[in-house]
Amino acid sequence: MTARNGEPLAFSAVGLGTGPLGDFFELLNEMTAISTVEQGLASGVRVFDSSPHYGNGLAESRLGAGLRRAQRDQIVVSSKIGRIMDPFGKKPEVRKDVVSPGFAGGFPHAPRFDYSYDGAMRSIEHSLLRMGLDRLDIVLIHDCDVWTHGRDDAGPRFKEAMAGAYVALDKLRREKVVKAIGFGINEADTCVKFAKAGDFDVAMMAGRYSLLDQTGLQEFLPLALQKGMGVMLAGVFNSGILATGSIPGAKFDYAVAPESIVTKVKGIEEVCRRHHVTIRQAALQFAMAHPAVVSIVLGAVTPEEVKANVHDASVEIPASLWSDLKSANLLNEAAPTAG
Q: Catalytic: which of 23, 54, 145, 166?
A: 54
pTM of the predicted model over 0.85: yes
Domain membership flag for residue 283: yes
Instruction: Determine whether 324 is an active site residue.
Output: no
Give CA 299 to chain center in angstroms.
Answer: 8
Q: What is the pLDDT of residues 300-309, one digit of tens each?
A: 999 999 999 9
Return the pLDDT at 104: 85
On the question of pLDDT at 280 being above 70, the answer is yes
Instruction: Determine whether 193 is an active site residue.
Output: no
* Total number of domains constituting the chain: 1
When pLDDT is averaged across residues 181-193 and rounded to a whole number, the result is 98
Domain membership flag for residue 87: yes
Q: Catalytic: which of 23, 73, 80, 264?
A: 80
Domain membership flag for residue 79: yes
Q: Catalytic: which of 49, 137, 143, 145?
A: 49
Tell me, letter by letter, the H, E, C secondary structure of the chain: CECCCCCECCCCCEEEECHHHHCCCCCCCHHHHHHHHHHHHHCCCCEEECCCCHHHHHHHHHHHHHCCCCCHHHCEEEEEECEEEECCCCCCCCCCCCCCCCCCCCCCCEEEECCCHHHHHHHHHHHHHHHCCCCCCEEEEECCCHHHHHHHHHHHHHHHHHHHHHHHHHHHHHCCCCCEEEEEECCHHHHHHHHHHCCCCEEEEECCCCCCCCCCCCCHHHHHHHHCCEEEEECCCHHHHHHHCCCCCCEECCEECCHHHHHHHHHHHHHHHHCCCCHHHHHHHHHHCCCCEEEEEEECCCHHHHHHHHHHCCCCCCHHHHHHHHHCCCCCCCCCCCC
Q: How confident is the model at residue 279 (pLDDT cuts 50, 70, 90)?
A: very high
Domain membership flag for residue 338: no
On the question of pLDDT at 101 being above 80, the answer is no
Domain membership flag for residue 6: no
Percentage with pLDDT > 90 across the chain: 93
Return the pLDDT at 90: 78
Domain membership flag for residue 334: no
Domain membership flag for residue 339: no
When pLDDT is averaged across residues 88-107 and rounded to a whole number, the result is 74
The domain of 48 spans 14-327
Domain membership flag for residue 255: yes
Percentage with pLDDT > 70 across the chain: 97
Return the pLDDT at 100: 57
On the question of pLDDT at 339 being above 80, the answer is no
User: CATH no. for residue 225?
Assistant: 3.20.20.100
Instruction: Determine whether 54 is an active site residue.
Output: yes
